[in-house]
Amino acid sequence: MLSWLTGRSLRTDEARSEQLGPVTGVPALGLDALASATYGPEAALTVLIAAGSRGADAIAPITLAIIGVLALVFLSYLQTISAYPNGGGSYTVAKENLGPAWGVLAATALCTDYVLNVAVAIAAGVGAIVSVVPALLPHTLALCLGILLLLTVVNLRGLKTAGAIFTAPTYAFIGSLLIMIVAGFVHPPRLPSPPAPTAATAVTAWLALRAFASGCTALTGVEAVSNAVPVFRPPEVRHARQTLTMIVITLAVLLSGIAWLAHGLRLVATEPGQPGYQSVVSQLASAVFGRGAMYGVTMAAVLAVLCLSANTSFADFPRVCRLLADDGYLPATFGRRGARLVYSAGIIVLAGFAATLLIAFHGVTDALIPLFAVGAFSAFTLSQAGMVAHWRARRVFGIHMALNAVGAVATAATLGIIIVAKFLEGAWLTVLVIPAGYAFLRYCGRLQSRLARALAPSEPLSLGDVQAPIAVIPVDQVNRAVLKAVRFAVSFSDVIYGVHVVVDDDDRPDAVASDWETLVENPAREARREPPRLHTIRSPYREVIRPLLTVVHAVAKMYPARTVAVIIPERIEPHWYQMWLHSQHATLIKIALLMRGGPHVAVVNTPWYVAEPADAAADAPPPMEEADLG
């Protein structure tokens, strides 16, 4: 139906397989990590606004600390890549080494992080747009939702050309930021008019801690390579490790370069979401390049990389959902690929969550940052704790285990700092959401495993004492649809009840009983068959469903060995949009019979196509497609 939007269906064997090397791997898997070089320093500097231009002094040590944590995380993941050549995402590593419950927890943390990554990257991208065109500031949220919608549609179509789309912007982004840093080093610029610090306070330890906690969002996305080892060219592990190394070194260079420039320029961030807002990268680029072509190229590359960074979540979130569905923690829908070979259910759920976040936080990056890093650092910690368990199980106690243990402790400590420093500003929400998501997935898993146990056949088909069903037909009026239902009932049953519920609501004479005699009973007698009996029930409360259920239960009790087939004629209009005309009574009756009829009741729908009675095609089937039943 929506194929004009999502494109033609793709055959399963059209699934492409990519083979990455380090040069293609950096854009494909590193973009997310590199993009955070824009909003990480910005987040730290926004916290430091309170310190006015004195904040610029603090940015250097804070960035050093962040790069230190990055180094530890990097060394840990190098080991994960070697240990999990088939892909070691946090879910897999935690599940296999710490147990399924920890795996589910890691998956929840990861998914939270993916949702936030979409929201933060889009919000930061729009932040870049409004830095260039301040007139768009009032339309921040609309721009965010527009980009989200675009990404959702593009991902529902599936990205065939993903590789190419990623490469150019990524290298343009790295290149222009590096040029900016080098140019700023060679010709140190001056900010045109450094905003006067309004009520600048000293940089207290608490302020520095909060800036560090915010700045740690720069580390998000580093885990991507370890999830995707099999997509590399052989030797996969070596290529993956090379790629990760290149990504981390580039990220570290960008982070320290931006910090150093900000320090040299005595840069003060602007208040996000307020008039006059300009992103940190925009401030730096315009100071170094002026508002010329290079500024335009830089900002365009930043925007592109941020949007594509949101896009990587669209690839990863559905994949984690698929793993969860395969293990029975999510409904099977999340494990099925749609017409375009993508996991549509996961994409739609991700888009829904991200839209909710963007709306709730008005599309302002700064408001989302406190929520962000909690999920990522939870997943880091669980993944590395899993690696420690991995080494212990293999009795490898040396440098390997030590590195992962140090990594686990460092990321856990950082997680603690983030939660404490950012709790009131929004981290509490993530701290609530992750356990709630965890509980939901576990509940879901319990339901599904109960279902699987209940469905498993304990014995083969038993065909002793199979008896023909009883037919029950609710009769509102004796019309052609009901006659068709009776004829169908006669074809499989010798005991047929018509049930007419008289809704005591008008004074019109009720012709059903006499019609039934003329149109049903007499012809049956003439054909020498047992005439179907009509039961008439008065319903003083004008209900239909309850009296009908009572009759069905009574019939089921009278014939305990036989199934009661309740036949509901269904009127089918020529066009679906005409269906609303019909009362939803039939649907409600079906639901009530299925939910409360008991296991010995079957609900039978006989379609009756509405058309002019003169139309000979009225009872003919629609055009058929041929099938070979060989």
Q: How far is the CB of 552 from a second copy (least distance, A)?
A: 9
Q: Which member of 359, 511, 550, 588 binds a second copy (CB under 8 A)? A: 550
**Contacts to a second copy from residues 512-541, by CB under 8 A:** 515, 518-520, 522-524, 527, 529, 535, 540-541
- Segment 465-468 long-range contacts (CB within 8 Å, at least 24 positions apart): 465/561, 467/561, 467/562, 468/492, 468/493, 468/494, 468/562
Q: How far is the CB of 352 from a second copy (least distance, A)?
A: 15
Stretch that binds a second copy, among 137-145, 172-180, 402-410, 477-485 (CB under 8 A): 477-485
CA distance 73 to 223: 9
Q: Evaluate whether 603 touches 590 at the Cβ level (below 8 Å).
A: yes
Stretch that binds a second copy, among 124-132, 292-300, 403-411, 547-555 (CB under 8 A): 547-555
CA distance 119 to 354: 5
For the chain, helix, strand, coil in percent to 5 are: 65, 5, 25
Q: Is 553 in the site for a second copy (CB under 8 A)?
A: yes
Q: How far is the CB of 353 from a second copy (least distance, A)?
A: 17
**Contacts to a second copy from residues 388-447, by CB under 8 A:** 444, 447
276: left (phi over 0), alpha (psi -120 to 50) or beta: left
Q: Which amino acid is at 495?
A: V
Q: Is 555 in the site for a second copy (CB under 8 A)?
A: yes
Q: How far is the CB of 109 from a second copy (least distance, A)?
A: 23
Q: Is the dihedral of CA 414, 417, 420, 421 positive or negative?
A: negative
Q: How far is the CB of 572 from a second copy (least distance, A)?
A: 6
> Per the structure block, which two tokens stand in for 270?
């602007």
CA distance 125 to 128: 5
Q: How far is the CB of 361 from a second copy (least distance, A)?
A: 24
Q: Which member of 68, 134, 138, 607 binds a second copy (CB under 8 A)? A: 607
Comparing CB distances to a second copy, the nearer of 204 and 587 is 587
**Contacts to a second copy from residues 140-169, by CB under 8 A:** none
- 124: exposed, middle or buried (C-beta count within 10 Å: 0-12, 13-18, 19+)? buried
Q: Which member of 16, 190, 336, 362 binds a second copy (CB under 8 A)? A: 336
Q: How many binding residues for a second copy (CB under 8 A)? A: 120
Q: Is 460 in the site for a second copy (CB under 8 A)?
A: yes
Q: How far is the CB of 34 from a second copy (least distance, A)?
A: 33
- 163: exposed, middle or buried (C-beta count within 10 Å: 0-12, 13-18, 19+)? middle
Site string for a second copy, 559-598 (x = CB under 8 A): ---xx-x----xxxx--x-x-xxxxx-----x---xxxxx
Q: How far is the CB of 486 from a second copy (least distance, A)?
A: 6
Helix (H, G, I), strand (E, B) or coil at 569: strand
Q: Is 507 in the site for a second copy (CB under 8 A)?
A: no
Of 172, 169, 167, 127, whose CA–CA distance to 147 is shortest? Answer: 127
Comparing CB distances to a second copy, the nearer of 168 and 588 is 588
Q: Is 319 in the site for a second copy (CB under 8 A)?
A: no
Q: Which amino acid is at 216?
A: C
Site string for a second copy, 8-47 (x = CB under 8 A): -xxxxx----------------------------------
